[in-house]
Amino acid sequence: MLSRILNPLKSNSFFIFGPRGTGKTTFLKNFFEREKVLWIDLLDPKVEEVYSRDASLLSYQSEALKDFSWIVIDEIQKAPRLLDLVHHHIESSGKKFALTGSSPRKLKKEGANLLAGRAFLNHLFPLTHLEMGEQFDLTAALHYGSLPRVTQLSLPEEKNEFLRAYAHTYLKEEIWAEHLIRQLEPFRRFLEIAAQTSGQIVNYSNVARDVGVETPTVQSYFSILEDTLVGVLLEPFHQSVRKRQRHNPKFYLFDLGVKRAMDRTLESSLTPGSYAYGLAFEHLVILEAHRMNSYYRKDFRFFYLRTKDDAEIDLIVERPGMPIALIEIKSTDRVDERGTRVLERFLPDFKKAEALCLSRDPVPKKIGSVRALPWQQGLGEIGLSK
């Protein structure tokens, strides 16, 4: 059993939000291994029906089971009215709750009680390279992603079938069944296009034309993916917040295996040195940075920068109390001046910035003003570690 980085405070009730299959239930079963827990699994249709029909049942159970130190409600969005009673019990009895869900979007949409800070917020993602440790395989991560289930499968055929089923099931059960969209077919077309353009700057009008819907609809689709933690938006960098809003973000799907299932490239190989391999490697490093920023509660903010002449910095990290980090991500296993020249060009425009090139090159080196580091080491030195 792999140890997860997520470590909620046991002194307080908390939410854990994350896409289906990231391991929320397994995590809590391990987290509360030595606790007496009342477990309410709303993924069980019979349990969901009972609590949806009569949320007050929670009060009777809580009163009768006072010796339970925690109450876990799995997939709370299935019965959002329970949150009013959760709020009441936290206030009146000091009972502690652990609440899981795919995202707070449906809860907000239905005006559900999100407990106003009485339950701390946590996110759970697919496995990181730190969590997998010696089991981490870069080639496998680029091809199949790192959802816990896919890492437990041995055969490529099994991994592919799981990812195809996941993409279809998630679409059906999480987005459509939760009534987050009105029409399934346009959203289905949108998902494939979003996967195909993952890692690129979003052109809302082009996507809308390809999907056959209005631009505001596509913008709402991207917002759904972000709110359900299925996607990450990387905003353009500019010192002026107003100017940042004039440029479109980049979009990254939350897992490379799911991306390849959605854009139907699971059977395509990724060859080191190819354009597709480079995009996938950049995608992975950015996702790893995003996940560790959340787990370690660093409050870093991430951006990209692209000029009118298409010079680009892959990742800019604003770090409280630390210099801005300018990061170039290269999939090469041997970094030289060609991989750092863009950073050298931009460095004079940033006061006291730190420039790093993260790659598969195992040998740390200094090239001009740029530190070239193995990508795992580089993420740690940026500050994305304990």
134 shares its domain with 271: yes
Same domain, 91 and 134: no
Residues 361, 329 within the same domain: yes
**What is residue 295's predicted lDDT score, i.e. its pLDDT?**
97
Residue 235 lies in a domain: no
At residue 86, the pLDDT reads: 84
Cβ pair 339, 330 in contact under 8 A: yes
**110-119, 149-158, 293-302, 367-376 — which is least confidently predicted?**
110-119
The verdict on 160 and 194 lying in the same domain is yes
pTM over 0.85: yes
pLDDT for 119 equals 82
The reply to whether 137 and 110 lie within a common domain is no
| 339 and 354 together in one domain | yes
308 plus 254 within the same structural domain: no
* Domain span including residue 64: 13-123
User: Do both 198 and 312 map to the same domain?
Assistant: no
Please report whether residue 152 resides in a domain: yes
What is residue 246's predicted lDDT score, i.e. its pLDDT? 58
CATH of the domain at 365: 3.40.1350
Evaluate the CA torsion angle 271, 272, 273, 275 in order and state its sign: positive
Residues 267 and 133 reside in one and the same domain: yes
**8 is a domain residue:** no
Residue 2 located in a structural domain: no
Residue 213 lies in a domain: yes
CA within 13 Å, CB half, 245: 3
| Per-residue confidence (pLDDT) for residue 238, from 0 to 100 | 79
Indicate the number of domains in the chain. Answer: 3
Do 150 and 254 share a domain, yes or no?
yes
Of residues 315 and 1, the one with the higher pLDDT is: 315
Asked whether residue 306 falls in the same domain as residue 268, the answer is no
74: domain CATH number is: 3.40.50.300
315-368 pLDDT, tens digit each: 999 999 999 999 999 999 999 999 999 999 999 989 889 999 999 999 999 999
In this structure, the answer to whether residues 332 and 209 fall within a common structural domain is: no
Check pLDDT > 90 for residue 63.
Answer: no
The answer to whether the CB of 286 falls within 8 A of the CB of 234 is: yes
Task: Give the per-residue SS3 of the chain.
Answer: CCCCCCCCCCCCEEEEECCCCCCHHHHHHHHCCCCCEEEEECCCHHHHHHHHHCCCHHHHHHHHCCCCCEEEEECHHHCCCHHHHHHHHHHHHCCEEEEEECCCHHHHHCCCCCHHHCEEEEECCCCCHHHHHHHCCHHHHHHHCCCHHHHCCCCHHHHHHHHHHHHHHHHHHHHHCCCCCCCHHHHHHHHHHHHHCCCCECCHHHHHHHHCCCHHHHHHHHHHHHHCCCEEEEEECCCCHHHHCCCCCEEEECCHHHHHHHCCCCCCCCCCCCHHHHHHHHHHHHHHHHHHHHHCCCCCEEEEEECCCCCEEEEEEECCCCCCEEEEECCCCCCCHHHCHHHHHHHHHCCCCEEEEEECCCCCEEECCEEEEEHHHHHHHHCCCC
Domain boundary among 65, 93, 123: 123
